[in-house]
Amino acid sequence: MSPLEAKLRRRIAEHGPISVADYMAEANAHYYATRDPFGTEGDFTTAPEISQMFGELVGIWLADLWMRAGRPEGARYIELGPGRGTLAEDALRAMGGTGFAPPVELVETSPVLRRGQAERVSACWHDGPSTLPTEGPLFIVANEFFDALPVHQFDSRGEELMIRLDGDKFVRDGEVMTETSPASLAIAGDLARRIARQSGAALIVDYGPVGQGAGDTLQSLSNHQYADPFAAPGERDLTAHVDFEALGEAARAEGVRVFGPVEQGAWLKAMGIDLRAVSLAKAAPERAAEIMADRDRLAAADQMGRLFKVMALVAPDWPEPAGF
């Protein structure tokens, strides 16, 4: 039994059942703090790890907005949950081509992942958004960050579902009707408030429905297979669908304009993924089939193209962002 599992068992035995949100927060903090989970050897793969095209198009989106906003001084590149730093590296390279080379600030709690990020970008790190710079335009990116934040689950009477011990198993009592992520709303609100005050924009990419979601979306991946979210806490990835409608409302309340969510496939096509794939394939003909397969994996409706959504928060007096 892992030390985290032992700790959670002791906590429940001594103080009673814990919320799904507490369980998820503890499990994910341990999970990310102790490993690099990405890629075929790991538990799951993310868009920037599939192809450089993803990060490059994100970088072009940021640079395009920066140019049309009049190339404001003092801008920062900010990323939340940057994983291996691959997205940042690809985005910054694409941005560099336009003369946009802002300093980089990364929000990352995992010491293991921070080390990997430092190999790819020079940056300074934050434990949370609260210490981000309070002046200058912010260009914020978050890919598969919000889905890792804790959710609370409630039954049809509005009672919060709790996790107790049944013998040696963690068991969730009751049936899930609704799910909320106050942690996500707080961060979206915080980012929006900064953007409204300092100017800038945020690009949020994650998986979830366009409208209101339904019930229980907590899921766990281990070795690329769905697994029981209530077994082996801290040893497998826990995520929940992102409620874009709620994030958008929280952001709008702070005075930013909200664009989307649109499907990732549509956004990538609008940003020129087909052209980018063709030009990469021309430069490396021996990899052409692989590049086209990667393009499909990111953009095709039956792969990541429809389930994943893209939403932008933009300062009130700024131009409209591309791709929406």
Binding site for ligand SAH (CB under 6 A): 28, 32, 38, 46, 48-49, 81-83, 87, 107-110, 113, 143-145, 148-149
Q: How far is the CB of 214 from ligand SAH (least distance, A)?
A: 24
Q: How far is the CB of 263 from ligand SAH (least distance, A)?
A: 17
Q: How far is the CB of 152 from ligand SAH (least distance, A)?
A: 15
CB 205 within 8 Å of CB 308:
yes
Q: How far is the CB of 315 from ligand SAH (least distance, A)?
A: 23
Which residue of the chain is nearest ligand SAH when measured via CB?
A: 81
Q: Which is nearer to ligand SAH, 75 or 205 (by Cβ)?
A: 205
Q: What stretches of 31-157 adopt beta strand conformation (E)?
A: 76-80, 104-107, 124-126, 138-143, 152-154
Q: Which is nearer to ligand SAH, 143 or 198 (by Cβ)?
A: 143
Q: Which is nearer to ligand SAH, 23 or 145 (by Cβ)?
A: 145
Sheet of 237-239: strand order equals 225-227, 219-222, 237-239
Q: How far apart are CA 260 and CA 270, in angstroms?
A: 13
Q: How far apart are CA 241 and CA 244, in angstroms?
A: 9
| Matching residue, tokens 């790890």 | 49
Paired strand residues for 180 = 152
CB 38 within 8 Å of CB 223:
no
Q: Which is nearer to ligand SAH, 313 or 315 (by Cβ)?
A: 313
Q: How far is the CB of 99 from ligand SAH (least distance, A)?
A: 26
Q: Which is nearer to ligand SAH, 199 or 206 (by Cβ)?
A: 206
